[in-house]
């Protein structure tokens, strides 16, 4: 069974942590919560929800591509560089 960010949040709260679940792809959200968390002198934890391979079509949400050697496939390297533009 996969755990969720909310599962992790419950565990951290049980240990007395202030926790925030944030969209890990939005720097503005991370910065906003980081600044806000400064008001809490106790332990703070940020849980970032992210998508594996975000921005590269063939990698998105494919854990089997967690390690991928682009030099072995120039065609995929070219497409990846196009996706990132």
Q: In which band, very low, low, confident or very high, does the pLDDT at 81 lie, cut at 50, 70 and 90? A: confident
Joined together, the tokens standing for residue 83 give 């996706």
> 19: exposed, middle or buried (C-beta count within 10 Å: 0-12, 13-18, 19+)?
buried
79: CB partners within 8 A, 6+ apart: 57, 58
The conformational region for residue 42 under phi > 0 = left, psi -120 to 50 = alpha, else beta, is beta
Average pLDDT over the chain, rounded to an integer? 85
The structure's pTM equals 0.67
At 65 the pLDDT is 66
């Amino acid at each position: 069974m996969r755990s969720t960010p909310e599962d992790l949040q419950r565990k951290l709260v049980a240990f007395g942590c202030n926790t925030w679940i944030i969209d890990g792809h939005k720097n503005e959200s991370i910065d906003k919560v980081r600044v806000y968390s400064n008001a809490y002198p106790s332990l703070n934890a940020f849980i970032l929800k992210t998508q594996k391979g975000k921005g590269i079509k063939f990698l998105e949400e494919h854990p089997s591509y967690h390690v991928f050697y682009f030099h072995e496939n120039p065609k995929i390297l070219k497409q990846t560089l196009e996706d990132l533009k």
